[in-house]
Structure 1
Amino acid sequence: MFRKRVFLILLASCGLAVSLSAKKAEASVAVPQSQIDACRAWVDRQFAVGGPLPFSFVYDGKSSGEFLSGCKLKVKTGSADAARKREVRTYTDPASGLEVRCEIVRYADYPAVEWVVYFKNNGRTKTGILENLLPLDVPFGLDGKDDVYLNYNEGGHSGAKDFQPNRMKLGRQEAKEVGAFWYGFPTAENLPFFNAEWNGGTRGVMTAVGWPAQWKASFDRKADTTLNVRIGQIKTRLYLEPGEEIRTPLVVVMFWNGTRDAAQNMWRGWMYDHNLPRPGGRLPEPILEAASSAYFAEMFHATDKDQMEFIDRYLEEGVKLDYWWMDAGWYPNRGGSWQDLLGTWYPDPKRYPNGLRAISDHAHAKGVRSLLWFEPERVTAGSWIYENHPEWTLGDGTTRFFNYGNPEALAWMTDHVDSLLKSEDIDLYRQDFAVMSSDYWNEEDRKNPDRQGIAEIKHVIGYLKYMDELQRRHPGMLIDICAAGGKRLELENLRRAVPLWRSDYAFEPVGVQGQTYGLSAWIPFSGAGVNRITAYDFRSNMSPSIVLNLDSRVKDADYPLLRRLLAQWEEVRGDYRGDFYPLTAYSLQDDVWIGWMFFRPETGTGFVQMFNRAGSIYDSGVCRLKGLDPQKRYRVTDMDTQQSVLFGGEELLGQGLRFTFTQAPESKLIRISEVDRP
């Protein structure tokens, strides 16, 4: 009776009834051409001459439709590459000289389109007031009887609910607004990725925002036959000086038919194919880093000898690192904390008499690359920037905000960080951000009510130039993005960097399991940390990036187990490149199971992770797998026991795979590989 009850509970919680058409869609690598054609037709309609455009604003009291109707239109097209077509639509007002330019990218291999809107004053005097800039303002057509569900995620709160998936029914006359409303952090409250579905969950549209600052998105059904979506910067009311140019957030629209799992995996494919950074022309591979941060208050109490000792001890124990992680606190301080003297960006000569280059050289000689932390946007009292260039900062307190919108400041920071990366021979640049930036931008807005939003816009433009220039000067260097954990995970950053440390809510197994579950549908490359050598802890934190936070000086730790767990991760890590499927419901409760799988149809390989949490009373259950070909055979291997069983794809999809646990908490790592693959 006990096992039968578990069996029924798991099948119910997994929600795993899969139709034949869904199986076919999930197993397909190529996107149906019909979906791409439908997206192309939608874009043509939205930008048709004389019709309502999919963006809006108000200029000098006139709606954008009224204003643009009196502008001259020039259209220029070209190709970015074989898969992307660029289109620039420029509207010029002959009276004021105001230019409105929409730069569109159409995708030939995905049913996706994106654009950014630019405004430039080509006149000799300042413009009228531009306000309510919305780069996406469009109704999506519905059947009046459709139920609409909005799928979206929590942001990086630095808590157990980080990246929790949410699903809400959007009833008639109902609306939902989300955004970056917490102190200017782009993804502290919500991720800027949304999937609205209708037609019984068989059709939908995904939208996304690229803006490393304050954005908002609203979804409303004020009319039965439309879902109105509006996305933009939270606050804009400003004029432009002669020659001045600004931009809006980047917006992306992707259409889908089929199942939500298939839609999210199409998104993951698009992220890999067109968004993830490619240092040296290559996608980032899963990587293993290690740090001593937990033992020296980041690097506040560390010395060069400490860092070298930790590296040597890992290697002595047979743990092959890709990167050694040098964290906050490597610069001079006043004895308080690692937050002392942020803005004095050179190695502390007392603790690092030969600079950080000595650590990099030591690591490089042993086949380990170096990673270095920076937080350029925070400037604290007594630092070099604070004392010598207060004009480069916003604010007048003991903590100030470095202003990338100041051209002189931008040029200095770019050159200085570039010189440090070269002089210290750093291989990976880590950009952190923990400033309540909205306080500084709001103060600038109060100083000039007719320039609201301009300080934020200029900072964003300068920040993105900074990141792009560092990459140009270091074309083979991977960049890591952090913002007090996962508070800056929007599309503009994700095109330039990967989040190797996705949340400051770290290590605790249940919360980190939830992070993988929620984040993997949208962001295919992220990282977490390991600070205990147990299979349950390691696998809970297993990600494309793993950061070891162990005291490698301890010689009696269970290094054999660590080596075995790392070897298992190395065997399966290539399959993070594949599709992601939740296999159970999301939950943070301690008395349930949670699990998922990654699978690559093109290689026929994947893996399943299943976790029996500490409070669970269940020892056995069955869960149906996803994404497999029902006509093929698969070898299913328990990576702990190395016992393998052959199954037909139809059986795994229909009847499922049984998991048996002997204790709680406990984890399973199951290898899936196609048999008889040519």
Structure 2
Amino acid sequence: MSNTLVLFVRASVVTAIVVAANADQPSVSPDSFSFTLDGVASRDVLAGWKRKHSKLAPPAEPDCWVPRYAESLAELERADFVTYRSETLDLAAQRETFPDADAWIQFVTFANNSQRDSGIIADVYPLDTVLRLDGDGPIVLRYAKGSHNEQTDFQPMEASLVAGKPLTFSPYGGRSSDGFLPFFNLSTAHSGYIIGIAWTGQWKATFEAIDERSVRVTAGMERARFRLAPKEAARTPGVLALRWEGRDWLAGQNQLRRFLLRHFTPRLSGAPVVPPIAASPNGYVSFNDVTQANLIDCVERVASHAFPVDTFWLDAGWNAGGFPLGMGNPEPDAARFPNGLKPVSDAAHARGLKYLQWFEPERVMPGTWLDTQHPEWLLKPAGLPPELAYHEKDGFRLLDLGNDDARAWITSKISSQVSAYGVDVYRHDFNLFPLYYWRNDEPEDRQGIREIRYIEGLYDFFDTLRRDHPDLVIDNCASGGRRLDLEMLRRCVFLWRTDNCWDPIAEQCMTHALSLWLPVHGVGAVSVNPYEFRSGLGSSFTMALDYRSENPAFWEQATARVNELKRVREFFSKDYYPLSPYTTAEDAWIAWQFHDPEKDAGLVQAFRRGKAPDATLHLRLRGLGEGATYTLTNLDTSADESIAGGRLMAEGFGIRIDEAPGSAVIVYARGRGRN
């Protein structure tokens, strides 16, 4: 196994760590990461620096160096440090190992320990190493589109790597999963590496075949060229490497899903956060028409019908000026909410519901309170592509989280509002393309520093909220799923994977595709029609229905749909297998399986689209016991069928759906009897 590396920077500490082939013999080699200093390659630069390796004991205040919110000091015991020191600069490498998954994440920090400016640090790649892959077959790189408000968000992609033809990836506009998802599976037939990026900004990753079994992988910031002032430090992205082996490439995807669920999913009381099943009033009340009266009325209608949701969802539009023109006005609209927002959360809590509230603190619109009172805290855009020119024309601004005063104010403001409003789930939205704000008028010798400071400030904002409110669930929304990276996954759930919502085919495709990479995601529904409702099923779910209905049939059907979701929701975070090809075609079927290997039980979903001519689809399952017998139950017909595991995997079974469009949900369990 070849060495790999991840870099991280925090406050005034420099940290760089190399992952060695033998975890028992940690080795920090300058061959596993790279940068230049005044044009000289890091391998030559570091040859003359002092090097020291140490196993770090958990400090009294772990956040003084750890580049993330730590759930416990035990997590910090996995860290090793290697530091390089010169007369001017320190470079510290931190490696965090995960022996249960054969995975490592590494971070690097640079710090200027002198009284004069440093030289130019550039082309920083926390991961720059050659990975050797075992096994037969060509080297294939599998990856995914990111979120861009398209029907094909998260579409699976793959390419065979050929010597001399490197593939390079970066997101669009500064949000980490806009355009491309920051996860990759580099594989041969039966083994490979998952590479993941821990950075909520503009990253860059390149994969270049050296020969038939070797690939050079580099990953870091897209643009970094800066000096450090005296006593200044700067962090760079982290990079994950997860080694996998198995039957095929899906083994790697499922090892990643399990790994993320164990180590990169927020936890409450020691267990992964369970996302909400929520009721939203926006099925019949638009964002800017919400009031104290109609929100409380919605809560009462949901509760009076014993609708089995657990959370009331207040989205955008509540603040003065509404959405989006009021972004930058932090207070509720006084006319619509004369008593503030606490009466709404009180109503939800009185009915046994948790309360979710939306915020968008990073965007500032012209004429708002922040725009007029603190223009010195705001960044302006420049260099926008034509499709984003309206940002500059319409006066959009970005609250600079790299500005200490701005960050302290907004953190204190939001934290106090979480307390005052009784917020259980903090929903954080972000509808800008920050790259064009970070790079506006950036000095030649400080390229990347504004982005670094902003991203450091963003993490500090979330970590402070978690410390101030230990039971708070944080939802990461950025025009849908445009900030889905390792740093955000560690801190937040994400309840809204795309703004391309409510199209059943789009929802089906996103479940089919995004489940290859992430174990916890979802969206919801605006209809109780089974085909449409089931198209949006996932770990999280919100319903924007017309709760004013007095039709008992509506409430009966809606309740049945939610109870069905509750019956199967546990499976969505388990192992995942696509059972049909990814397709957006209207004349096709699409199907998948979620399997819990511990319970030896699972879920199959199948959709016959509106123009699909055949009423039957034959599916072969994965992950079952050859000699075991499984009972399959169709949730529409309640019909049971017992089939041997070997037969289900080799020959499969048939699903019939007479309606087009139509859907089927099959649950199964080992042994006889209902699941």
Q: TM-score, normalised by structure 2?
A: 0.90
Structure-2 residue corresponding to 1:174:
165
Bigger shift: residues 323-332 or 284-293: 284-293
In 2, the alpha carbon distance for the partners of 1:589 and 1:131 equals 46
Q: What per-residue deviation string (whole Å, max 9, x for no partner) do you get for residues 42-75 of structure 1?
A: 16599636x5431110012211111111111121
Deviation at 1:304, TM superposition (A): 0.7
In 2, the alpha carbon distance for the partners of 1:163 and 1:221 equals 25
Structure-2 residue corresponding to 1:313:
301
Aligned counterpart in structure 2 of residue 461 of structure 1, from 446, 456, 459:
456
Aligned counterpart in structure 2 of residue 266 of structure 1, from 255, 269, 273:
255
Deviation at 1:577, TM superposition (A): 3.0
Q: What per-residue deviation string (whole Å, max 9, x for no partner) do you get for residues 564-585 of structure 1?
A: 1211111111122321111111
Structure-2 residue corresponding to 1:442:
439
Q: 1:580 to 1:197 in 2, by over 3 A?
A: same
Deviation at 1:654, TM superposition (A): 1.3
Deviation at 1:142, TM superposition (A): 4.5
Contact 1:636 1:673 in 2 (8 A): yes
In 2, the alpha carbon distance for the partners of 1:270 and 1:392 equals 39
AA paired with 1:530? A
In 1, the alpha carbon distance for the partners of 2:56 and 2:100 equals 16
Structure-2 residue corresponding to 1:587:
583
Structure-1 residue corresponding to 2:44:
66
AA paired with 1:358? P
1:507 aligns with 2:502: yes
Structure-2 residue corresponding to 1:91:
84
Bigger shift: residues 106-115 or 275-284: 275-284
Structure-2 residue corresponding to 1:542:
537
Aligned counterpart in structure 2 of residue 230 of structure 1, from 190, 201, 218:
218
Listed as ranges, the matches of 1:523-672 within 5 Å are 523-556=518-551, 558-672=554-668
SS of match in other structure, 1:346: coil
Q: 1:86 to 1:144 in 2, by over 3 A?
A: closer
Structure-2 residue corresponding to 1:20:
none
Identity of aligned residues (%): 34
Deviation at 1:316, TM superposition (A): 2.6
Q: What per-residue deviation string (whole Å, max 9, x for no partner) do you get for residues 495-553 of structure 1?
A: 11111011001011111111011111211111212011111001100011111011111
SS of match in other structure, 2:595: strand
Q: 1:249 to 1:43 in 2, by over 3 A?
A: farther
Contact 1:594 1:610 in 2 (8 A): yes
Structure-1 residue corresponding to 2:119:
128
Contact 1:84 1:106 in 2 (8 A): no
Q: 1:265 to 1:144 in 2, by over 3 A?
A: closer
Structure-2 residue corresponding to 1:295:
284
Q: What per-residue deviation string (whole Å, max 9, x for no partner) do you get for residues 186-217 of structure 1?
A: 1110000000111xx11111100011110111
AA paired with 2:21? W
Structure-2 residue corresponding to 1:239:
227
Contact 1:83 1:108 in 2 (8 A): no
In 1, the alpha carbon distance for the partners of 2:332 and 2:39 equals 53
Structure-1 residue corresponding to 2:379:
394
1:187 aligns with 2:177: yes
Q: What per-residue deviation string (whole Å, max 9, x for no partner) do you get for residues 301-347 of structure 1?
A: 111111111122222333122111111111111xxx51123111111
1:471 aligns with 2:460: no
Q: What per-residue deviation string (whole Å, max 9, x for no partner) do you get for residues 120-143 of structure 1?
A: 111111100000011111111247
Structure-2 residue corresponding to 1:25:
none
Contact 2:360 2:429 in 1 (8 A): yes
Q: TM-score, normalised by structure 1?
A: 0.90
Bigger shift: residues 214-223 or 504-513: 214-223
In 2, the alpha carbon distance for the partners of 1:62 and 1:471 equals 42
Aligned counterpart in structure 1 of residue 107 of structure 2, from 92, 112, 116:
116
Aligned counterpart in structure 1 of residue 53 of structure 2, from 75, 90, 100:
75
In 1, the alpha carbon distance for the partners of 2:272 and 2:237 equals 25
Bigger shift: residues 319-328 or 495-504: 319-328
Structure-1 residue corresponding to 2:425:
428
Deviation at 1:86, TM superposition (A): 0.7
Deviation at 1:83, TM superposition (A): 9.8
Contact 1:432 1:483 in 2 (8 A): yes
In 2, the alpha carbon distance for the partners of 1:112 and 1:598 equals 24
Across the aligned residues of Structure 1 and Structure 2, the Cα RMSD in angstroms comes to: 2.0
Q: 1:295 to 1:585 in 2, by over 3 A?
A: same
Structure-2 residue corresponding to 1:361:
346
SS of match in other structure, 2:576: strand
In 2, the alpha carbon distance for the partners of 1:68 and 1:458 equals 25
Figure out how many residues of one structure are paired with residues of the other and give that number: 628
Deviation at 1:425, TM superposition (A): 0.8
Contact 1:188 1:488 in 2 (8 A): yes
AA paired with 2:538? S
SS of match in other structure, 1:267: helix
Q: What per-residue deviation string (whole Å, max 9, x for no partner) do you get for residues 103-124 of structure 1?
A: 1101121110001110011111
Structure-1 residue corresponding to 2:316:
328
Deviation at 1:78, TM superposition (A): 4.1
| Relative contact order, higher structure (CA 8 A, sep 6+) | 1
Contact 2:611 2:661 in 1 (8 A): yes
Unaligned runs of 5+ in 1: 1-38
Contact 1:203 1:257 in 2 (8 A): yes
Q: What per-residue deviation string (whole Å, max 9, x for no partner) do you get for residues 422-477 of structure 1?
A: 111111101111112111111142xx111001000000001000000001111111
SS of match in other structure, 1:412: helix
Contact 2:309 2:562 in 1 (8 A): no
Deviation at 1:373, TM superposition (A): 0.8
Q: 1:306 to 1:42 in 2, by over 3 A?
A: same
1:417 aligns with 2:406: no
Contact 1:371 1:430 in 2 (8 A): yes
Deviation at 1:168, TM superposition (A): 1.4
1:156 aligns with 2:153: no
Bigger shift: residues 372-381 or 40-49: 40-49
In 1, the alpha carbon distance for the partners of 2:213 and 2:346 equals 64
1:42 aligns with 2:21: yes
In 2, the alpha carbon distance for the partners of 1:208 and 1:296 equals 40
In 2, the alpha carbon distance for the partners of 1:46 and 1:453 equals 34
Structure-2 residue corresponding to 1:452:
447
SS of match in other structure, 2:154: coil
Structure-1 residue corresponding to 2:386:
none
SS of match in other structure, 1:658: strand
Q: 1:474 to 1:77 in 2, by over 3 A?
A: same
Contact 1:286 1:574 in 2 (8 A): no
In 2, the alpha carbon distance for the partners of 1:370 and 1:427 equals 5
Contact 2:155 2:510 in 1 (8 A): yes
In 1, the alpha carbon distance for the partners of 2:184 and 2:345 equals 41
Q: 1:419 to 1:83 in 2, by over 3 A?
A: closer
Q: 1:46 to 1:516 in 2, by over 3 A?
A: farther
Q: 1:179 to 1:628 in 2, by over 3 A?
A: same
Listed as ranges, the matches of 1:96-111 within 5 Å are 96=88, 98-111=89-102
In 1, the alpha carbon distance for the partners of 2:516 and 2:25 equals 28
